[in-house]
Structure 1
Amino acid sequence: MNDSTQQQIALVTGASAGFGRAICERFLRDGYRVIAAARRMEPLRELQRQYGEAVLPVVLDVRDEQAIAAMRASLPEHWRDVDVLVNNAGLALGTEKAQEAVLRDWRTMIDTNVTGLALMTHAFLPGMVARKRGLVVNIGSVAGKYPYPGGNVYGATKAFVAQFSRNLRADLAGTGVRVTDVQPGLCGDTEFSLTRYRGDRRKADSVYDGAHPLGPDDIAETVAWVASLPPRVNVNAIEVMPTSQSFSALTITRDS
């Protein structure tokens, strides 16, 4: 690893568990310094205890514009030039059909997956452009491309991530700043389904039974590969599914 790579700084949201934690650890092993941001401090402290001064733990709710501004302003001087922003914080709530969904769940998903991602990008993108280098990695989902029953607003938020990423690429032409939309499929060993099913461990575990899903390390490996490419290479989007997952046939409802 060369010295320039060792000095790079990655900021990862949703860093307390799942994809975020695995991405932080992978960057740290690759010699990055990591700003680990999440709503829960104790998991971030654990990460800091393991990796020492290479980790800067930050309590942050990405839905809070003022908190983001305060966090950015309070970063120590040698932590301010973020080279890689990983917009990972996100969630799904519920699998009810749209006509049965809880409006509060829709708002929470939009506020986190759409507004939070946009706020973080808006806060750190100008610095990258000014330095003529940087990488924004947005964690999307195959749900943003392939609809399924119960995916309504969650899938729509991830469709926003995909289109926002493409539009960022259009705006950033000539700046040297890269953008990648990473779109995972079925992935286990995270808090995703436990959150979606409101803490029902049985339902959450049943999603992955016998399915051989991806794991957080697979997504971390994907992000690390994108970040390792030469500055001339931009991966616009990368879709990653477990081998066991594929494309479902279109549903047809017939008269009984």
Structure 2
Amino acid sequence: MPDLKGRTALVTGSSRGIGRGIAERLAASGAHVAVHYGHDERAAAETVAHLRERGGEAFAVGADLSTVAGVDTLLAEAGARFAESGRDRLDVLVNNAGFSTTFFEATTPEIFDRLFAVNARAPFFLVQRALPLLADGGRVVSVSSAAIRVAVSDVAYTMAKAAVVAMNRTLAHLLGERGITVNTVAPGAVDTDLTAAERREEPETRQVIIDMTALGRIGTPPDVADVVAFLASDEARWVTGQCVEVSGGLFLGLPPGIAH
């Protein structure tokens, strides 16, 4: 297990789902974790309690990342809380917060703008404005999506997630002189507390996803979180500017047994 003892980590959108899995994994590795939430304060409190019950250090901080003011609020509050515990730096920033909404035909300008605000603009300004707080030798990991490789119906979401990959490649180049690594993980289909219930209501769709995944199952938050923890650790010190797909081999080709 990567050793993150004594390090601080901010994980956006970590009250539930993949983000919570990442927060749990980083805390289990010894990091002091800021659990960010956008609206669900109760879920964030439950996540923090869960981490503390297992010996981890964590606190919750709320901010609306659809606005730049929310980005500033998040960094100011997280920085102040870390300072209270004697840590005046941020070692690991995980840009996980994001959402997907609707089909191409139903995407309004308002939906488009909010998708880009949360999925692409927020990560950009979080890194930019965290630079004074971000430690030399720190880690930035952003969560994109395997959707950037295949054709999906939520075009605006895919565009925003592709922007994150392009951003991180450039940031890896710019921040390398400070020893900061910048990488991206791109999950495929992942069962969370929300999506698992939705897929159970559509067993045929669930089976199609399984059939189109080389490793024969839908992913879990720990599947993604383990890769993020690696990229946040010293073991990944020579990895930067990369996009690692964490999808179990989603849509690599036709299912076995189907003629080409």
- Quickly name the TM-score band, shorter chain normalised: 0.7 to 0.9
Cα distance in 1 for partners of 2:148, 2:96 equals 15
The answer to whether structure 1 residue 115 and structure 2 residue 113 are counterparts is: no
Identity %: 24
- Aligned match of 2:98 in 90, 102, 108? 90
Provide, for residues 99-128 of structure 1, a one-character-per-residue CA deviation record: whole Å limited to 9, x for no partner.
Answer: 443333222211110112112222213332
Query: Which blocks of at least 5 consecutive residues in structure 2 are unaligned?
Result: 211-216, 255-260
Cα distance in 1 for partners of 2:199, 2:243 equals 33
The answer to whether structure 1 residue 132 and structure 2 residue 131 are counterparts is: no
Instruction: Tell me the number of residue pairs that the alignment of Structure 1 and Structure 2 aligns.
Output: 237
State the Cα distance separating 1:226 from its structure 2 match.
1.5
Letter of the structure 2 residue corresponding to residue 64 of structure 1: T
Cα distance in 1 for partners of 2:99, 2:195 equals 6
Other-structure match for 1:234: 239
CA contact (8 A) 1:139 1:181 kept: yes
Cα distance in 2 for partners of 1:19, 1:193 equals 12
The answer to whether structure 1 residue 62 and structure 2 residue 70 are counterparts is: no
CA contact (8 A) 2:137 2:179 kept: yes
CA contact (8 A) 2:18 2:192 kept: no
State the Cα distance separating 1:193 from its structure 2 match.
8.3
Structure 1 residues 66 and 238, CA, compared in 2 at 3 Å: closer, same or farther? same
Structure 1 residues 56 and 206, CA, compared in 2 at 3 Å: closer, same or farther? farther
Structure 1 residues 89 and 65, CA, compared in 2 at 3 Å: closer, same or farther? same
CA contact (8 A) 2:26 2:33 kept: yes
Query: Which blocks of at least 5 consecutive residues in structure 1 are unaligned?
Result: 250-256
- Aligned match of 2:158 in 155, 158, 167? 155
- Superposed, 1:93-242 pairs within 5 Å as 93-94=101-102, 96=103, 98-128=104-134, 131-148=135-152, 150-191=153-194, 202=201, 207-209=205-207, 211=210, 212-230=217-235, 232-235=237-240, 236-242=242-248
State the Cα distance separating 1:80 from its structure 2 match.
4.2
Could you tell me the TM-score, scaled by structure 1's length? 0.82
Letter of the structure 2 residue corresponding to residue 44 of structure 1: A
Structure 1 residues 18 and 106, CA, compared in 2 at 3 Å: closer, same or farther? same
Cα distance in 2 for partners of 1:5, 1:247 equals 34
Cα distance in 2 for partners of 1:6, 1:185 equals 30
Provide, for residues 209-249 of structure 1, a one-character-per-residue CA deviation record: whole Å limited to 9, x for no partner.
Answer: 46221111100111112222346312422112224x22358
1:233 alignment partner, SS class: coil
Letter of the structure 2 residue corresponding to residue 20 of structure 1: G
Structure 1 residues 51 and 214, CA, compared in 2 at 3 Å: closer, same or farther? closer
CA contact (8 A) 1:62 1:119 kept: no
Provide, for residues 12-46 of structure 1, a one-character-per-residue CA deviation record: whole Å limited to 9, x for no partner.
Answer: 00011111100111111111110000122111211
2:71 alignment partner, SS class: helix
CA contact (8 A) 1:13 1:87 kept: yes
Cα distance in 2 for partners of 1:101, 1:124 equals 32
Other-structure match for 1:42: 42
Structure 1 residues 201 and 109, CA, compared in 2 at 3 Å: closer, same or farther? farther
Cα distance in 2 for partners of 1:38, 1:189 equals 16
Letter of the structure 2 residue corresponding to residue 111 of structure 1: A
2:101 alignment partner, SS class: coil
State the Cα distance separating 1:67 from its structure 2 match.
2.7
State the Cα distance separating 1:152 from its structure 2 match.
1.2
CA contact (8 A) 2:35 2:48 kept: no
- RMSD after superposition: 2.6
Cα distance in 2 for partners of 1:190, 1:134 equals 31
State the Cα distance separating 1:47 from its structure 2 match.
2.2
